[in-house]
Amino acid sequence: MSLARVLPDPDEEYRRPDGGSSPAHAPVALWSWWTLGVLLIALVPRLIYLFAISNPENAGDGLYTDVYQHWQIAYLTKEIGLSHGLRLWDLKGVEYFWGSLHPIVLVVLFFVTGSTDIVLARLQSLAFGSLAVVLIFHLCQRYWNLSVAVAATAFAAIAPTSVFNDSSGMLEPMGVSLSLLGIWLLPKRSLGTGIAWGLATAARPEAWLSSPGLVLASSLRRATVRRWFLLLLGFVSVMAAQMAFLNARTGNPIYPVYWNYLANAGGLWMKPLIASQQSARPWFVALWAMATVGLLTTLWRRPRSYLLLLYGFGSCALVFGLFGLTAFITEWYPWRWMMWILAFPYDFAALLVAIGLFVIVPRYVGRGIRQVTWLAAGVLLVGVQLTWIPIAMAYTSTASAWNTDVTTGRYIASIFGQPDYRAGALNLPPPDHPAVTYALVHYGGLEGRHFVSQLYDPFYYLPAGYHYADHPATAGTLLQCWLSTTMTSILVMPDDRADYSAYVTDHPGWFEMVGRVADYNWSIEAVHVPAPSPQTCAQSAVNARAGGE
């Protein structure tokens, strides 16, 4: 079955799917009761899940820890980064890893609302996810018929994976909705399409691959080629501004896509492969092959809906290819099926099923089969609700980690908030626990300007393998300079930081243990380090780079 027979060509746009000559339903206007109804149908389950089922403050600590990482970037950008110009900020050094649009949008929300609550991040992703549902409806109704639109939209609106992920606070709903918006804007609003696809690249690294592909593919049909210059102008303008910004801040104009695919696909940061991941790989290879065949067939036949199909098949091919063909398979776990990375592939698969039920089957069996196809769609939609059971179990399991992080944040804040320490800085561990940062702010009442990241300690700038034990004089002076210049009054010290532990042991008069976080094996040390002279600090830095003692 070729896509040319499944999907209407331009001349077939207003004919019924069964080949009849009478006109089909006219496209639904964007501002219509249909749009309002679809938007409400998408919003209601997401809002219910966010406020009535989940803990609004717990986005899924340990499962969706990245939500707190994204919040941390936006919050510290507001508190610190903006005072250094338009600059993103983070304690972990990944402020530009995912792109710049999401934190900028969150910063705007923080200023507008006067709040920095994580709920804003979850509402933002919920809103973009609901927009994607509306766009799926309009695109399906434009390219196929109302039945396909209703069925595909119903899945996107109430499928547990969609509701769960759209309410999480992750980035994907923003990137997907901007990509779909660009497709919907064609062919009459080509400039807007280019801008939307350009912004999508600033929302998700995957769009660095999909958006240029869509731009090139949009030139292949006469309906869009006449306005393609405006599309290209919009896209290139956004990309040029974004790449100039990235180059100025990171020295790499393609920083997000470079590090996402070098690190994830190339295996730079991956863990060792285990048996269950190895056994899953052939399945992903098969799915990748199917998605690639769909993509190539769409590109060859180019039906009127080809941009939507290219985006869907391309997204699936990218995800399945990452798991099946690269070292990213080491990120596959039994619970990964419910996560953000497969949310849109599920929606696209449901769209293909809707085409099968309401275009292909009626075309070959007859319109009398419609009751059966609707029954089948209903059964599938009800059946998929069973996935709420494992999703709920996975989310419930995050409560323990969340409670630990809240308790930890409150405890550290209670120490730092004492009069002897609060005028200084809180020196935090390499922040693999961004939920603790959130708890320090939201529950502990601290401000981001007090935080110092241990990621950028003196050893960050020294040759690999340079340790305090080997160079106690030089490294000790550098640590003294770092603690004094950052005005550190409280040092949260992980037990596995041998350099710190040895330094504290060698200078008992400068440190006083005032607390302990047993869950993470952190010692909390009050710091009373005398400030060395600037000349001493500068000379020690020169000696360290030269490998001296």
Mean pLDDT (the chain) is 91
Q: What angle do CA 435, 438, 442 make, to 5 degrees?
A: 140
List pLDDT tens digits, range 35-76: 999 999 999 999 999 999 999 999 999 999 999 999 999 999
| pLDDT-derived band at 549, boundaries 50, 70, 90 | low
* Percentage with pLDDT > 90 across the chain: 80
| pLDDT-derived band at 8, boundaries 50, 70, 90 | very low
Alpha-carbon distances of 444 from 59, 91, 290, 529, rounded to whole Å: 19, 18, 51, 25
List pLDDT tens digits, range 301-329: 999 999 999 999 999 999 999 999 998 89
Contacts of 517 (CB under 8 A, 6+ apart): 408, 411, 412, 492, 524
Gap between the Cα atoms of 104 and 174, Å rounded: 12
Q: Residue 432: how many CB atoms within 10 A of its CB?
A: 12
Tally the C-alpha atoms within 13 A of residue 97's C-alpha that lie toward its C-beta: 18
List pLDDT tens digits, range 336-395: 999 999 999 999 999 999 999 999 999 998 888 999 999 999 999 999 999 999 999 999
Tokens 């405890």, residue located? 411
State the pLDDT at residue 265.
75
Is the distance from CB of 324 to CB of 287 less than 8 angstroms? yes
Question: What DSSP string runs through 273-311?
Answer: P-HHHHHHHHHHHHHHHHHHHHHHHHHHH--TTHHHHHH
Q: Residue 546: how many CB atoms within 10 A of its CB?
A: 9
Which of 424, 397, 500, 490 lies closest to 457, judged by CA? 500
Does the pLDDT of residue 442 top 70, yes or no? yes
List pLDDT tens digits, range 456-468: 999 999 988 899 9
State the pLDDT at residue 544.
83
Is the distance from CB of 73 to CB of 89 less than 8 angstroms? yes
User: Quick one: the chain helix, strand, coil %, rounded to 5?
Assistant: 65, 5, 30
Contacts of 35 (CB under 8 A, 6+ apart): 28, 29, 134, 137, 138
State the pLDDT at residue 102.
97
Does the pLDDT of residue 15 top 50, yes or no? no
Using DSSP, how many helices (H) and how many strands (E) does the chain show? 24, 5
Gap between the Cα atoms of 528 and 505, Å rounded: 14
